[in-house]
Structure 1
Amino acid sequence: MRLTTRRGVVVAGGLALGVMVAAAAPAHAAGATLVVDQVVAAADPLVVSGTCAAGSQTAVVTVRQEGDTLASASVDLRADLSYRAALDISKAASGEAVAEVACMAYGTATPLGTDSAAFYAVAGDQMPYEVPVRVTPSRVALGGTITVSAQCRPGTVDATVLVGNTAADEAFAEAPANPAPDGSLTVQVVMAKDPDNRGGLAPVAGGGTVVVFCGDMDAEEGAGPVGIGLARFTITPAAVVQGAAPSGASGSSGSAQELATTGSDAAPMTALAAGLVLAGAGAHTLRRRLTRG
């Protein structure tokens, strides 16, 4: 799972919405490469860069969405055959789009190389903000307990905390949380499987990931900005088998809450942030279908 920060907003690599967006590993055609951020606010310029084959003189970059051309630009190549362009995609709707490049020599109609990469455009105010998340302790034995602290925006009513092994396909703990009026929240999670949840995953020794989502995970498109943050920790083997995890979540607004383990409703952990970054544009369809970032 990979996150970068752009203008204070979480931008994640690897995502899906109905169809898989394969920008994480584009299939480069011979003679050209194209690199683009995988999640881009439509209000920002789309910056593309890459290289062309020997003999190329210019790169023609085109951005398309659902068959429509959003933007196009032709830029001269640098001495090292690289290029960089910024395109206006302000007309983009929230959804998948594709950037394409054709490397050309002047006076010829046949490209010397082509490449393309998919990305996700996020329109309006749907880009989420970054949520600070802290996990203590940073190393915990199986059967032990971690405390997750996060800071949503003041006035946030709903939040969701997910915990799982970083390499797993599902979380082993998920529960709603109720932030305090100032947006802060604290939950406690036991590193053990709920014995009453036979279909759920159990934590194993190794890397662990916590994802905190501030806002309604099931909000419809256009619901407004939401927040997302993550933190890593390490799960170590237990010398003695510990007790079972609690079977439910409890606690008052802003107070410590224990999370219940989950089964079929668990959200994926690998590249989870990549999916939730699109929460304002339909995260309810992304909770189980994400690529690896």
Structure 2
Amino acid sequence: MSSTSSTVLRAEHIWLDGKLMKWDEGNVHVMTHALHYGLGVFEGIRAYKTHDGRLAVFRLREHIRRLLDSAHIIMLQIPYSEDELVEATVDLLRKQKQQFANGAYLRPVAFMGDGAMGLGAVNPTRVGITAWDWGAYLGDKGIKEGIRAKVSSFTRNHVNVNMVRGKITGQYVNSILAKREAVLAGYDEAILLDISGFVAEASGENIFLVNKKGVIKTPPLSSPVLDGITRDTVLKLLRDAGHTTIEEVTVTRDALYIANEVFFTGTAAEITPVREVDNRQIGDGKPGPISKYVQDTYFRVVRGQEARYADWLTYV
């Protein structure tokens, strides 16, 4: 359907409920509570091949901490500690290090398992970690040339409806509807507004813009947006580079139209420039200098080429 849909080049093994097992053995019952009601949490994490040929997971602990925070928000008891989940992730990659020598996408997921049904049920939590080979989420061409985005007719849920600090499985139906609408209309990605009409985020990414005065803006965490780990990374990289004109503020959709640059950030999408929003060309219609700087620096960091950020990498 789009450049973001692809066949999973799967791993030989997964980690499920404390054990490494063959991919095809990682099954759950059709009566799994989360399948019916969406009560689960997940993370998207990337491991990269570093410049010296090793394999390193980017900001692994931050992702696992967010997974545990998400579970806490929805009162889902995870029977593993942060250290145990970190080690399980590393073990999974170590088991198939040769298969993922060039990198991998990792998906920890925790969800309510089978047992009782109904909204008030409390069943044992299942926890799994999978890995697969997943390239640029919005396409290699999108990374290089930028993508086309559409402001969605679907609104990002209100903060009293959507637990915005949590990466919660059932909440992504909102994103799926927005994404499908955009793709069917011929665009690459959707941008969702909040209930007040301000820009929130894309269907699976945070959003940045650079205005004509060179001010870099991104919606604040008081908006209904995920506290993105890539978003946080980009803010730190820009501030460390001496960019003082960075604002976490509400943004209108027409501010996107007249911006010099717009780009998305996310673990799957990495740093993806936006060349067009709602048929309005952004800037000169190609990735701008800030977007390219962020891209270049980000990829140097995840590949272990920036020593000052070495603590963000967990080597396998």
Structure-2-length-normalised TM-score: 0.24
- The structure with the greater share of residues assigned to helix is 2
- The structure with the greater share of residues assigned to strand is 1
Larger radius of gyration between Structure 1 and Structure 2: 1
